[in-house]
Amino acid sequence: AKAEGKGRYRRFESWMDHSLAERRALERDLRLAIEHDEIEMYFQPQFACDTLQLTGFEALVRWDHAERGLVPPGVFIPLAEECGLIIQIGRMVLEKSCRLAAAWRPRCPVAVNLSPLQFRDSGFLSLLSSILESTDFPASLLELEVTEGVLIKDEEQALGTLRALKELGVQIALDDFGTGYSGLSYLRSFPFDRIKIDKCFVHAQEHDAGTQTILEAVLAMSKRLNLRVIAEGVETEEQLAMLRMQGCSEVQGFLLGRPMPASEVQAFLMSTMDD
Ligand code: C2E
Ligand code: CA
Ligand code: CA
Ligand code: CA
């Protein structure tokens, strides 16, 4: 069944290249998926680079389509952003992630991805407060991952929202660092708690001394700015060893743990405590 799921997953990667009619069909299905509660959360573990102790999870959304199988977020998130369904999906993602994580023992940090549209939505802050309250999940254990896409459109407004989020007590991470134009100046101007080094960076530095130098500079500077750094997409022992040597504090990637269904998280938590 696993191999089948994988094949199906691959078939969908080029959905955005499909015809308008097909995209309409997918949009209709996505509306039904929300109604039928087919939107699920998976969780990928994050680890301390030196001790490999579990430090938290990133929540990653999945659409478990009755006939099509698992549709990856790379396909339906852009579609949801295009047709406005992202606000509803984003709300479900936040609510489910907090509700599920509130039941884990021991309690453990969870990072949730935000779409720029969700971040800019006028109801977002009050939505977040009410979710934290109704799920009883501590704000300090919630991290929101934003990309530079939330920053570029209106820096003043973005800064205001980020400050309000800090006041609620949540952590903020800058996702996909190194892929866009995010000048290093962003790191100083906005109240981030940590940055996520994009996987392209992690992969490129193995073969490219220039990338290595940049990464080392980013790590050194983050330390001085008091920013924690997590590298994502760590797939090999070599990449892990390199990041360790460079002083990166946390890692996430297939080498150490794949995204798992919510039903497996509690057992995973227990098994890492035995180590
Ligand atoms: P992202 O936020 O950069 O998430 C990391 C992606 O890298 C995930 O893909 C994860 O499964 C994958 N990954 C983790 N470790 C490795 C590794 O070692 N190697 C490689 N090659 N990949 C790895 P996923 O789950 O397919 O998500 C893709 C993107 O979809 C995410 O990128 C994020 O931009 C978006 N996304 C996922 N969940 C959500 C969500 O709940 N809300 C929003 N707005 N966007 C989401
Ligand atoms: Ca992310
Ligand atoms: Ca990322
Ligand atoms: Ca991304």
- Regarding the beta carbon of 258 and ligand 1, being less than 6 Å apart is answered no
pLDDT at position 49: 96
Centroid of ligand 2 to alpha carbon of 21 (angstroms): 30
- Cα–Cα distance for residue pair 227/115, rounded to 1 Å: 22
Centroid of ligand 4 to alpha carbon of 274 (angstroms): 33
The residue whose CA is least distant from atom 35 of ligand 1 is: 73
- Regarding the beta carbon of 196 and ligand 1, being less than 6 Å apart is answered no
Residues with CB under 5 Å of ion ligand 2 are 113, 145, 175
Find how far residue 148's CA is from the centre of its chain. 13
The closest alpha carbon to 183, from 143, 155, 223, belongs to: 155
pLDDT in tens, the chain (275 residues): 344 444 444 455 555 566 788 888 889 999 999 999 999 999 999 999 999 999 999 999 999 988 888 889 998 999 999 999 999 999 999 999 999 999 999 999 999 999 999 999 999 999 999 999 999 999 999 999 999 888 888 889 999 999 999 999 999 999 998 877 666 778 888 999 999 999 999 999 888 999 899 899 889 999 999 999 999 999 999 999 999 999 999 999 999 999 999 999 999 999 987 66
- Regarding the beta carbon of 60 and ligand 1, being less than 6 Å apart is answered yes
pLDDT at position 182: 63
pTM over 0.80: yes
Token pair listed for 4: 């089948």
Centroid of ligand 4 to alpha carbon of 176 (angstroms): 6
Amino acid at 112: V
pLDDT at position 227: 94
The closest alpha carbon to 271, from 54, 119, 95, belongs to: 54
pLDDT at position 8: 45
Rg for the chain, CA atoms, rounded: 19
